[in-house]
Amino acid sequence: MNINHLSASNIDQQHIWHPYSAIGAGHSVFHVASADGCILKLQDGRELIDGMASWWSVIHGYNNPQINEALKKQLDLMSHVMFGGLTHDPAIKLATKLIEITPPTLETVFFSDSGSVAVEVAMKMAIQYWASKNLPQKQHFISARNGYHGDTLGTMSVCDPVTGMHSLFSKTLTQQYFIPAPQTPFGESCDESELTDLRQTLENHHHDISAIIIEPIVQGAGGMRFYSADYLQKTRALADEFGVLLIFDEIATGFGRTGKLFACEHTSITPDIMCIGKALTGGYMTLAATLTTRDISETISSGDPGIFMHGPTFMANPLACTAALVSTTLLLESPWEKRIDNIEQQLKQGLEQCITLPNVQQVRVLGGIGVVELNESVDMRTIQPLFVEQGVWIRPFGKLVYVMPPYIIKDAQLKTLCDAIYHVISAL
């Protein structure tokens, strides 16, 4: 089929899938020509302040000179080499850095291509760990409602059954155990009664449960909900009591987004397995990692078949590892805590005006995350162009209009984002 006669926009609309979209549906898609700092420049010349950090990953902004230079040097050495039977400096150096900055009990690293795969790896680790301990029946998971852990089949099974697309794939997905979403707000202590369902589920089914999986502190794509660190403390205690593992999905929360380097640092506990991604490479390359304890990795390695059963083709890609190493170093050497605190204060001040609007249910801010929850779901075909007209890139979903901007964003740009949110919501 020859489609060269079509315009770029027609090719895109008729032949290219975008996330959660339909072919030829007429949704607005805006053509980006270049990006620099916090600015997306469209092909038609318009400039947009990026409030999304490209789905929360571009923490240093676009076109960062240090990451650019490191990637150019690595490209001259090698862009890729298989990780089966081979290794390389970028992977070794990155693993060393990740072990250094994550909780001290996490000592081994498995690299993968995306956040969803990192969670798949975590789930397989948990199952294979128990199989290596002669408990092969422990193959199910407990997950919180309103949770989101990815779009692959395994990860979908632990996403919220209603918002996580279960209805389409219910006959294919493994049936997991779900407990109510944490309700106590961030910064408050939760009552033991909030974990009654978790305790009861563990009492009844711990013999076939391998792990509890949860997004610490922030339930991301499932609702942008911020909850009590005390809930996680109590969850850790129950996991230990009933002999199941605890998996933290830090893909959205890692690398400073909540005001701590990792969200688990809001607590005094550590998970048995932790997944990281998104901001890992500063948004430059697709890369994720699953970290676990020495006990889990050695138990898997000493059991049958004596290896961990997973191996992506592009595992530990040298370019991606290089980007991640430089991005992580840039973050640690920057005043990132002050930047996140400033973003938090600016978002609180700037979004406060939205609470007066009749179609707004709640405004909430934590770290570098600002959320305006509406009473009704938005119409993307209406609201997205309105934000572009305001000179900002904000991508709402459901009832949520939210921002998670790059950490280098300026106060004036933040104000423009907040004013645009108020203006667009008030006009709906």
Q: Is 425 left (phi over 0), alpha (psi -120 to 50) or beta?
A: alpha
Contacts for 260 with CB less than 8 Å, ≥ 6 apart: 266, 367
In the structure encoding, which two tokens stand for residue 32, read together?
């980006």
Say whether 98 sits in a helix, a strand or coil: helix
In the structure encoding, which two tokens stand for residue 47, read together?
């400039």
Q: Where are the alpha helices (DSSP H) in 78-157?
A: 89-101, 115-132, 153-156
CA dist., res. 102 & res. 265, Å (int): 9
Q: Which of 129, 151, 153, 126 is nearest to 140 (CA)?
A: 126
Q: Beta-carbon neighbour count of residue 237 at 10 Å?
A: 12
- CB-count burial class (<10 Å; 0-12, 13-18, 19+) for 62: buried
β-strands 273-276, 288-293 pairing: antiparallel
CA dist., res. 75 & res. 201, Å (int): 51
Going through 353-427 in order, the beta strands assigned E by DSSP cover 360-366, 369-374, 392-393, 400-403
Q: Beta-carbon neighbour count of residue 338 at 10 Å?
A: 9
Cα-flanking dihedrals φ and ψ of residue 189, to 5°? -85, 140
CA dist., res. 125 & res. 109, Å (int): 12
Q: What is the DSSP code string of 255-293?
A: TTTTSSSSGGGGSS---SEEEE-GGGGTTSS--EEEEEE
CA dist., res. 72 & res. 70, Å (int): 5
Long-range contacts of 362-365 (CB under 8 A, 24+ apart): 364/224, 364/226
Catalytic machinery residues: 20, 148, 249, 278
Which amino acid would we find at residue 238? L
Say whether 390 sits in a helix, a strand or coil: coil
Which amino acid would we find at residue 81? V
